[in-house]
Structure 1
Amino acid sequence: MLYDCRSPADRDRGIAAAIEAVRNGELVVLPTDTVYGIGADAFTPYAVKALLDAKGGRRTPPPVLIGSRHTLDGLVFSLPRAARDLVEAFWPGALTIVVKHSPSLRWDLGDDTGTVAVRMPLHPVALEVLRETGPMAVASANRAGQSAALTAEEARDQLTYSVRAYLEAGLGPDPLPSTIVDLTGEVPQVVREGAIPWAKLRDVVPDIVESRVA
């Protein structure tokens, strides 16, 4: 079902439907400040598996979206100073940080690396859903090898009946994906430059470097 969140009545119905779907272990598509995402409850392994199956292709662990900065403290054992500075400067927004997650977390994102990519998006619909559901595993809402969806309708064309609720909010403010910074090593590394350019990151964390890994 597709809900047009540009209509107040449909927005309320859509957000309620998405929250219910996530709590039931089903998939949803929601807008973010970059591209649309396909999401599931991060702590429901079969839901995360369904997300990876829906996308197809290589089974890369999905990032986790959260609805509050305070949620981050519950996901990590110790947050580096550089991570706190970047979060303070760019959250909510198009910055994904890779950090070591707390060993006590009971989740399965598809790969036991001990790390997780986390972001707090700057979109009212996404934040409203996330504040009710808690952390969600969210990947770009497209099949592997196809273009990222810029609307929920585009996502539905690719993902069809694998998703319970599609939340349409039109084109996002920035079609570029989020910038990803790895903060698990001694030196912060930009592993993907997206909506936030490297130069702006360097203003906040002067020792940040660009990764040599493609």
Structure 2
Amino acid sequence: MKTKVAILNEQSLDKNIILEAAEIIKRGGVVAFPTETVYGLGANALDEEAVKKIFIAKGRPQDNPLIIHVGDFNISPYVKEVPKVAKEIMNKFWPGPITLIFEKSDKVPMITSANLSTIGVRMPDNNIARELILAANTTIAAPSANISGRPSPTDVDSCIEDLSGKIDYILGGENSEVGLESTIVDCTVNPICILRPGAITLEMLKEIDENVYVDPAVLNKPTEDFKPKAPGMKYRHYAPKAPVKIVSGDIEKTIAKINEIVLNYIERGKRVGVIATDETKNSYNSDIVVSLGSRENLYEIGQNLFKVLRSFDTMDVDIILCEAFNEQGVGAAIMNRLKKSAGFDIIEA
């Protein structure tokens, strides 16, 4: 398959390119496109055969549900009911990096929801994404635009690397502003429940519902028979080619522990990569140290996380060691992604 690539300026969109990509969606094709979270891999969410192509292109397990993306607030064709608390969240945070889980209508095929009676719905805060959805005149199912299990793409080059030759069209735009997939909130339960942390944090959501909580499944390694209600809850995700280990504890002890592990691997002739921060990057004995940014700006850390994880695939390392982060605010989302990347392999310093 030949994949067409078109790069757009989000501030002055070429409507002809948008219409060309929308026609592919209408005809049952698959299009990668930018959003503010990560790049998405989109197809008509109401077309079973088109949705199958997403799973095939990604190599994605079919029990991993998809999120559908909308271009406006009219979600009534796709869901049975919009609870009051969901309306409040939509009014405050849409368009934006938050997905809400509803009981789905019969219009949404079971393949899209991975045979669940619920579906996640999001309105992206990206001009290209919303214009594509509106031009296609349908809701678009779109997981991240990468091979399943790899770090999600936050730039068009990563989409091309993973999916060129596997899909019909790649729409390029700016790098993703958030860099982490959307927060997912289950609005079918009372109180509402966070199924995936993201840039819209627990603390922000408490301003709407003080009883909101994080599903325990987010915090622990899932069992084999676990049935995910939202994307990313079950399988190992965000993984570069080399295994990742997280080192957790007081920062000085973390640095000492990482240096101890680095020395041990180097003595065995292994190449070690270290994921550090601006404050610690000069503290390590490894020749391969990459900073995520400043610990004083966790949004910057989140924005850079997937790009940094991907960067190690070109560095020929045998193992990647990463500092842990405080799991407050957006730090909860960062650690959620890191734990998935590491397969919950955490070393206490």
Q: How much does 1:82 deviate?
A: 1.1
1:142 is aligned to 146
Query: Does the aligned pair in 2 maintain the 1:28–1:163 contact within 8 Å?
Result: yes
- Counterpart of 1:29 in structure 2 is 32
Equivalent residue, structure 1, for 2:116:
113
Going from structure 1 to structure 2, the CA distance change for 1:206 and 1:157 (only over 3 Å counts) comes to: same
- The aligned residue for residue 66 of structure 1 is 70
Question: TM-score, with normalisation over the residues of structure 2?
Answer: 0.58
Aligned residue in 2 for 1:44: 47
**How many matched pairs?**
212
Higher relative contact order structure (alpha carbons within 8 Å, sequence separation ≥ 6): 1
Distance 1:9 1:73, change over 3 A: closer
What TM-score, normalized by structure 1, do the two folds share? 0.93
Contact 1:17 1:165 in 2 (8 A): no
Deviations 1:117-165 (A, max 9, x none): 1100000111101112210110000101211111122111101122211
Partner of 2:212: 208
1:176 matched to 2:211? The reply is: no
Shift of 1:12: 2.9
Is the aligned partner of 1:123 residue 2:148? no
Please say which structure displays the higher CA radius of gyration.
2
Structure 1 CA distance for aligned equivalents of residues 68 and 182 of structure 2: 13
Deviations 1:2-23 (A, max 9, x none): 1110288883342122101101
CA distance in 1, matches of 2:199, 2:171: 22
User: For the structure 1 residues 151 and 13, does the alpha-carbon distance in structure 2 shift closer, same or farther, using more than 3 Å as the test?
Assistant: farther
Taking the aligned partners of 1:9 and 1:149, their CA distance within structure 2 comes to 23
Distance in 1 separating the partners of 2:97 and 2:108: 27
- Please say if 1:86 is aligned against 2:89: yes
2:8 corresponds in structure 1 to 5
Quick check: 1:190 aligned with 2:194?
yes
Percent of paired sites with the same residue = 27
Query: How far 1:38 sits from its partner (Å)?
Result: 0.3
**What are structure 1's unaligned runs of at least 5 residues?**
none
Report the aligned-residue RMSD. 1.7
Q: Which moved more, 1:56-65 or 1:20-29?
A: 56-65
Aligned partner of 2:100 among 68, 92, 97: 97
1:57 CA displacement: 3.7
Q: Which one of the candidate residues 65, 74, 79 is aligned to 1:76? A: 79
| Aligned 8 A contact 1:99 1:115 in 2 | yes
